[in-house]
Amino acid sequence: MTIAEIAKLAGTSRGTVDRVINGRGKVNKELEERIKEIIRENDYEVNGSARALSMSQKKYAVGVVINSIGNPFFARVKQGFQDSLKRWENFGLEIVYKEIRGYNEEEQLAAIDEMAARGVNVLALTPINTPRIIEKLNSLTLHIVTFNNDLHLDKKFAYVGCNYVESGNMCGDLAAMMLSGGEKVAIVTGSLNTLGHRERVECFSSRIAKMHCDIAIYENNDDDSLSYDIVKKVLCDFSPDLIFFSAGGTTGGLAAVEESGKSVRVLAVDETKAVVDGMKNGLVAAAVTQQPYEQGRMAIDLIAQYLYSRKLPRHKHNFTKNLVVLPSMVH
């Protein structure tokens, strides 16, 4: 397929299609989305010689804002980034990291501004869902890729990561098998300002609604120290029958459970060392993982394929698999 054929299908000019392909803006949003959909459906990419020329002459920087400080989950995401980068760095691709802790709005805004000032070509981030973050990202002239956590965003190029609705439903079904009805359930999550965390909590809660449980929700900002303090207090004041760790901070939270010596069923997400160790010692009943390594690898591959071949992702939402892990499956 040629640019002229794309333009004909979209009912526009070749110049407009070229502006969309090269991210130069000044195109009506509805028309831009229609052009992108035609490109995705027809698997369009520039011809091989043009791609080779682009590779030999262009250097690109991908700015990554990642909530990785104090959160071991993101070590596997970063490994995926780096392994993908090995395929592309000879072409001039570079990853510029800005690592932050938790889900503080001001810190994330400052990190976004820093990346924009450094002149990156694409911004990839784990965003929080606040009006100021959305406004800031929509004001940028960069391609935006969200990973691990998504955001309803006009300027989004693609999302790579967990299907949180599916994850919440799966965790809720697992919990329902552990409950008889009327128990106390504590949900310990990262931040309800994070779209994925909120979706997972809401879907989990809806799946056990028929159990008529007493549900309490706590936010730990994916921080192990805070999680330890919260869970220690919850065990004393609320005395839950089941605790669902639905985001980060699991290491601290599990330490509080183990220290208490109380008999409480535990369900978790992510296959971190703390969760695996918890399964081995009988503390964690089950977990639902989201393939963090694949999130990192796929995100950089999609970005590089666009930068060097102008090949748009076939799908705007690129989900990794949610997988159930049981104690019998860990070694």
d(CA 154, CA 98) in angstroms, rounded, equals 23
What confidence score (pLDDT) does residue 53 get?
A: 46
pLDDT in tens, the chain (331 residues): 678 888 887 888 888 887 777 666 678 878 888 887 787 777 666 554 445 444 545 789 999 999 999 999 999 999 999 999 998 988 889 999 999 999 999 999 999 999 999 999 999 999 999 999 999 999 999 999 999 999 999 889 999 999 999 999 999 999 999 999 999 999 999 999 999 999 999 999 999 999 999 999 999 999 999 999 999 999 999 999 999 999 999 999 999 999 999 999 999 999 999 999 999 999 999 999 999 999 999 999 999 999 988 888 889 999 999 999 999 999 8
Could you tell me the pTM of the whole model?
A: 0.82
* Residues in contact with 151: Cβ distance below 8 Å, sequence separation at least 6, in sequence order: 127, 129, 133, 134, 137, 195
What confidence score (pLDDT) does residue 182 get?
A: 97
DSSP 90-117: GGTEEEEEEE--TT-HHHHHHHHHHHHH
Asked if residue 116 lies in contact with residue 140, where contact means CB atoms within 8 angstroms, the answer is: yes
What confidence score (pLDDT) does residue 49 get?
A: 44
Q: Could you count the other beta carbons within 10 Å of the beta carbon of residue 190?
A: 28
What confidence score (pLDDT) does residue 234 get?
A: 98
What confidence score (pLDDT) does residue 309 get?
A: 84
What confidence score (pLDDT) does residue 1 get?
A: 67
d(CA 99, CA 322) in angstroms, rounded, equals 25
- Dihedral of alpha carbons 96, 162, 187, 277, sign: negative
What confidence score (pLDDT) does residue 281 get?
A: 95
What confidence score (pLDDT) does residue 2 get?
A: 77
Beta strands 242-245 and 265-269 are parallel
Structural domains in the chain, sorted by start: 1-44 (1.10.260.40), 56-161+293-320 (3.40.50.2300), 164-289 (3.40.50.2300)
